[in-house]
Amino acid sequence: MLYVLLGLITVSVWLFCLFDVLTTDEIDVRLLPKFGWFLIVLLGFAIGAALWLALGRPREPVGSGWTPPGMQSGPRPEPPRGPDDDEEFLRSLDRRIRGED
């Protein structure tokens, strides 16, 4: 039973690393091109997954810290707001309900 559990954990980590390589942007990958890391993880199984986690995976979350040349850096745009958070919308809705509009 322990071997089955260890096998499932190993396969899960390997699949996570494989999908992580595929979904990581090319500019965020360290040391090798993305295709090289894909082959290492695919063919190296547990060792390839460990190498990806230790050496190839981006260290910082995207958007926090250094930005590559040519990429825009600056203040983040304001996130979308719901209609109930917009005071002007609520005032206009109130005017429409009262028939003042």
- Dist. CA 12–CA 49, nearest whole Å: 10
* pLDDT (tens digit per residue) in 26-53: 888 888 999 999 999 999 989 999 999 8
Torsion, Cα 5 6 11 12, to 10 degrees, reads: 70
Q: What is the pTM of this model?
A: 0.56
- Structural domain boundaries of the chain? 1-60
* pLDDT (tens digit per residue) in 67-91: 555 555 566 677 777 777 788 888 8
SS3 label, residue 88: helix
Decide: 18 and 57 in contact? Cβ < 8 Å: no
